[in-house]
Amino acid sequence: MHDVKIRAAVMEDIPAIASLNGELGYPTTPEEMHPRVESILVLPDEHTLLVATVDDAVSAWIQVSLVASIESGTFAEIRGLVVHALHRSLGIGALLVSAAEQWALARGMARIRVRSNVIRERTHAFYERLGYGVKKEQKVFEKMLDYTERSS
């Protein structure tokens, strides 16, 4: 059996986190990932990024954030979870979700949500096994804005 540990991510984990992001379907370079991870790590009361290491190598990550919502109140949301293909179905994802739930509870949250693409049926079954139920289905709309940086 492998030695699995859950811990807070550190900046040195960025190359592994970026690589895993590609497995999730979002190819990302370490350079692109750097400001994303940094923005999460500087706000530990609002966000967390946890990693699972297998034999001391980063093999999975989960991001959890607090969401302040006018219509439904404040809750925790799992923003992303990925486990390396070679380490799936070993319980690592469940360990990370449990750690995310503990993080949320420590911040006074009574509920936690997760969104999952409709095509990820294996992921849906995973969350259902962990006690999550479908609350609603929705579409995600996106518009690219014409943003150009302005110097002050």
Phi (first) and psi of residue 124, to 5 degrees: -60, -45
Residue 138: the pLDDT is 86
Residue 151: the pLDDT is 54
Residue 139: the pLDDT is 86
Residue 1: the pLDDT is 57
pLDDT tens digit sequence for 62-91: 999 999 999 999 999 999 999 999 999 899
pLDDT tens digit sequence for 93-151: 999 999 999 999 999 999 999 998 888 888 999 999 999 999 988 888 889 898 877 55
Q: Is the pLDDT reported for residue 35 higher than 60?
A: yes
Mean of the pLDDT values across residues 21-32?
94
Residue 117: the pLDDT is 86
Instruction: List the one residue out of 60, 18, 66 whose CA is nearest residue 44.
Output: 66
Query: Which strands form 57-67's sheet, in the order they lie side by side?
Result: 4-8, 47-54, 57-67, 75-83, 112-114
* Cα–Cα distance, 69 to 87 (Å, whole number): 35
Alpha-carbon distance values, 117 to 24, 25, 123, 124, 152 (Å): 11, 11, 9, 9, 39
pLDDT tens digit sequence for 39-70: 999 999 999 999 999 999 999 999 999 999 99
Q: DSSP 3-state assignment of 27? A: coil
Domains belonging to the chain, first-starting first, are 4-129 (3.40.630.30)
Q: Where are the alpha helices (DSSP H) in 45-119?
A: 92-106
